[in-house]
Structure 1
Amino acid sequence: MIEVAAAIIENGQGRILIARRKKGKSQEGLWEFPGGKLEPGESPEACLVRELQEEMGIEISPYSYFGENEHDYGTVQIKLIAYLATYSHGEIRLVDHDDYRWSKREELREYEWAPADVPFVDWLIDRDLS
C-alpha cells in the first residue's frame, strides 16, 4: 500500500485549493486535494510542504490531522492521509495539474473527484471545522 498525503489548504477568504490531474497522469481529469507520496521516513506534514513546493511552487503550513482513507484503484492501493493547512505564500505554477480553483466548501461536490478524495469532500461539507 502506498501512503499519500493530501493538503486541504484554506486561504484567507475561507476557500479551499483543489487541483485537476493533467492528461497523461493517473486519474487524469479528476480533481483532488494536492499532495503526493511520502518518502521513506517522511512525515505527512513534511511531505506536504515538500510536494506543494515542488508541484505548485507555494508554501503551506499543515496544522491539523484531518483524516485518512484507504482506496483500492485495482492496480494500486493507497492510504490517503489528509491534513488541514494554511496557504503561506507563493504564486501557483502547475506541474502535475492542468487547472486549479479556490473553491467554496459548499461548491466542492460540483467537481468530479478522484475516488480516494471523495470522503474528504463529504467530511468537509458535513463537519464544522471551527
Structure 2
Amino acid sequence: MNKIYMKKFAVVAAVIQHENKILCVQRASSKYDYISFKYEFPGGKIELGETLEEAIVREVEEELCMHIIVDSYLMTVNHDYPDFSISLNTFLCYSQNKSLQLVEHIDYQWLTADELITLDWAAADLPIVNELIKND
C-alpha cells in the first residue's frame, strides 16, 4: 500500500515590533496561489545546526536587510496547506528603527495589533494575528 507523504517544514516567523506597530509583509506571486500575495510575518526555513532564534535573525536580515532583537517565544502554529505542512515557530522581536529593504516581498505595512485583521493573511499566520489581537 502506497502512502503519500506531504512535505513538512519547520519554519520561523518574527512578529517585529517598533513603537507599538507590528511589521506585516506581503508575499510575491508563488507557485501556490493560496499563499500568493498574502500577508505574513517575515521568516523562513531553519538551516541545519541553527537555533530557532539564529534562524529568525538570519532570515530577517536576508529578506529585509533589517537587524532585529529576539525578545521571547510567542507560539507555534502547525498548519497543513494543500501541498505541504509547516510548523511555524513564532517569536516576538523588536527593531530599533523601521528601516528595511524588500528583497523577497512586494509590500509591507506597520500596523497596530487591532489593524492586523484588515489584511489578507496567509492561513498559517492567522492564529498569530488572533493571538496578537487578543493580547493587545
TM-score for both structures, normalised by structure 2:
0.88
Whole-Å separation in 1 of the counterparts to 2:31 and 2:61? 19
Which amino acid letter does the alignment assign opposite residue 87 of structure 1? Answer: S
Whole-Å separation in 1 of the counterparts to 2:82 and 2:28? 20
SS at match of 1:65: strand
User: Is residue 16 of structure 1 aligned with residue 25 of structure 2?
Assistant: no
SS at match of 1:97: coil
Whole-Å separation in 2 of the counterparts to 1:3 and 1:126? 25
Unaligned runs of 5+ in 2: 1-7
CA distance 1:91–1:127, change in 2 (3 Å): closer
Structure-2 residue corresponding to 1:3: 10
Which amino acid letter does the alignment assign opposite residue 71 of structure 1? Answer: H
User: Is residue 98 of structure 1 aligned with residue 96 of structure 2?
Assistant: no
User: How many residue pairs were aligned?
Assistant: 127
Runs of 4+ in 1 over 4 A off after TM superposition: none
Which amino acid letter does the alignment assign opposite residue 15 of structure 2? Answer: I
Which amino acid letter does the alignment assign opposite residue 104 of structure 1? Answer: T
SS at match of 1:113: coil
Query: Contact 1:36/1:51 (CA < 8 Å) preserved in 2?
Result: yes
Whole-Å separation in 1 of the counterparts to 2:109 and 2:16? 11
Unaligned runs of 5+ in 1: none
SS at match of 2:114: helix
User: Is residue 52 of structure 1 aligned with residue 84 of structure 2?
Assistant: no
Which amino acid letter does the alignment assign opposite residue 47 of structure 1? Answer: A
User: Is residue 112 of structure 1 aligned with residue 128 of structure 2?
Assistant: no
**What is the Cα-based RMSD across aligned positions, in Å?**
1.4
SS at match of 1:88: coil
Percentage identity across aligned positions? 39
Whole-Å separation in 2 of the counterparts to 1:43 and 1:89? 25
SS at match of 1:59: coil
Structure-2 residue corresponding to 1:86: 94
**Which of 47, 62, 83 matches 1:39?**
47
Radius of gyration: which is bigger?
2
Which amino acid letter does the alignment assign opposite residue 27 of structure 2? Answer: R
Whole-Å separation in 2 of the counterparts to 1:60 and 1:25? 29
